[in-house]
């Protein structure tokens, strides 16, 4: 399952709160965009990110870094940008 987690990058806290759960990365990305617009912030200011969690999870649960990864096993990971910002 893909999940949006609230990640404050606080080393004292033991886990991150699950905001929402999704079957597909595309729906998780849509949820992240909605959250970004609702808060009126850039994605890096929302302290929210998409992760892959292998197993059952529900919104409101807390997860630790060992329970999730940035990409689903076997998922194609984008490498770099398609076009450079410089001329």
- Residue-wise pLDDT tens digits, 43-81: 778 888 899 998 889 999 999 888 998 888 888 877 765
What's the pLDDT at 53? 93
Say what the pTM is: 0.77
Instruction: Give the CA-trace dihedral at 44, 73, 22, 81, to 10 degrees.
Output: 40
- Beta bridge mates, 52: 2, 69
Cα 50–7–33 angle (5° rounding)?
A: 45
Strand positions, DSSP E, the chain: 2-6, 16-22, 48-53, 62-63, 68-69
């Amino acid at each position: 399952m893909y999940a949006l987690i609230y990640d404050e990058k606080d080393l004292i806290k033991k886990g991150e709160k699950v905001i929402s759960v999704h079957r597909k990365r595309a729906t998780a990305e849509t949820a992240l965009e909605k959250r970004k617009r609702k808060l009126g912030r850039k994605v890096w200011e929302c302290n929210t990110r998409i992760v892959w969690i292998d197993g059952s999870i529900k919104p409101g649960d807390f997860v630790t870094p060992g329970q999730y990864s940035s990409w689903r096993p076997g998922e194609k990971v984008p490498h770099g940008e398609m076009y450079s910002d410089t001329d």
